């Protein structure tokens, strides 16, 4: 059995247990987000203006890891949708934050794309963290939005990896992206479908009629022949 000798720091302001055999591991008190986003040389993320924001400031928030790239048009399209949802949630003080994990090919592309984003980013130079995040959440395609709930490493809700689909489907209503919230939305959707009628499908609140095709005067071929 290994014995803990002391506590040290890993260089990123994370407590580390130093063991009798010389090994070290992240302390059980290390937050979920810190264990994912802090590196040995960095304990911050970049804000939309380029300032440094401590990872520790995210601890009580619902977090979205946004895997995306400027060179792929579906990413740019979804980014516009996500910006609208993000800004609406932020205006309601909902406790939602996003971290951009770039798949851009160079720093200029990263910076240009980040200009359209009001949220945080992993620095472009931190290739190790970006690679680790892609592997950790098995990101196979972009855009990809992984939702993480606040909590520590001992008591955490599993990551939700279909955030893009949920944003497209429910928008801000999907927040806070918990299992209970999504089940509630699915029940509402099912009830709406079961109670749907043809009238509900074809009308809206200020229109209860349909437009028909104008009547066309038809002339028989016999009449055309007899005119000659």
Please give the chain's pLDDT, 228 residues, in tens.
333 333 334 343 443 333 333 333 333 335 779 999 999 999 999 999 999 999 999 989 999 999 999 999 999 999 999 999 999 999 998 899 999 999 999 999 999 999 999 999 999 999 999 999 999 999 999 999 999 998 755 556 789 999 999 999 999 999 999 999 999 999 998 887 777 665 665 555 455 555 655 554 544 444 444 455
Q: Are residues 40 and 110 in the same domain?
A: yes
Token pair recorded at residue 89: 């949630």
Q: Are residues 116 and 43 in the same domain?
A: yes
| Domain assignment of residue 220, yes or no | no
| Domain assignment of residue 141, yes or no | yes
**Where is 80: in which H helix or E strand?**
helix 73-91
Q: Are residues 108 and 1 in the same domain?
A: no
What CA–CA distances, in Å, run from 32 to 37, 119, 123, 144? 9, 19, 19, 20
Q: Are residues 115 and 50 in the same domain?
A: yes
CA distance 135 to 101: 12
Q: Are residues 85 and 22 in the same domain?
A: no
Measured over the CA atoms of residue 72, residue 77, residue 78 and residue 83, the dihedral's sign is positive
CA distance 141 to 67: 9
Q: Residues 67, 101: contact at Cβ < 8 Å?
A: yes
Q: Residues 136, 36: contact at Cβ < 8 Å?
A: yes
Q: Residues 73, 160: contact at Cβ < 8 Å?
A: no
| Domain assignment of residue 218, yes or no | no
Number of structural domains the chain divides into: 2
0.75 exceeded by the pTM?
A: no
Q: Are residues 67 and 176 in the same domain?
A: yes
| Domain assignment of residue 146, yes or no | yes
Range of the domain at 15: 1-29
């Amino acid at each position: 059995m290994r014995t803990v000798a002391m506590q040290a720091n890993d260089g990123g302001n994370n407590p580390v247990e130093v063991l009798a055999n010389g090994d070290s591991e992240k302390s059980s008190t290390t937050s979920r987000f810190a264990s994912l986003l802090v590196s040995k040389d960095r304990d911050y993320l970049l804000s939309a203006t380029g300032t440094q924001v401590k990872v520790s400031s995210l601890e009580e928030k619902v977090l979205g890891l946004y895997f995306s790239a400027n060179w792929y048009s579906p990413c740019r399209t979804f980014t516009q949708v996500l910006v609208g949802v993000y800004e609406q949630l932020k205006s309601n003080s909902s406790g939602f934050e996003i971290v951009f994990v770039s798949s851009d090919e160079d720093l200029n592309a990263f910076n240009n794309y980040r200009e359209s984003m009001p949220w945080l980013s992993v620095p472009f130079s931190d290739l190790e963290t970006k690679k680790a995040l892609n592997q950790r959440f098995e990101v196979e395609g972009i855009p990809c939005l992984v939702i993480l709930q606040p909590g520590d490493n001992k008591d955490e809700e599993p990551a939700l990896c279909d955030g893009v689909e949920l944003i497209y489907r429910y928008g801000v209503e999907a927040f806070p992206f918990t299992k209970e919230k999504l089940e509630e939305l699915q029940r509402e959707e099912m009830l709406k479908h079961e109670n749907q009628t043809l009238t509900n499908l074809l009308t809206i609140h200020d229109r209860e009629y349909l437009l028909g095709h104008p009547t066309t005067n038809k002339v028989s071929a016999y009449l055309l022949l007899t005119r000659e």
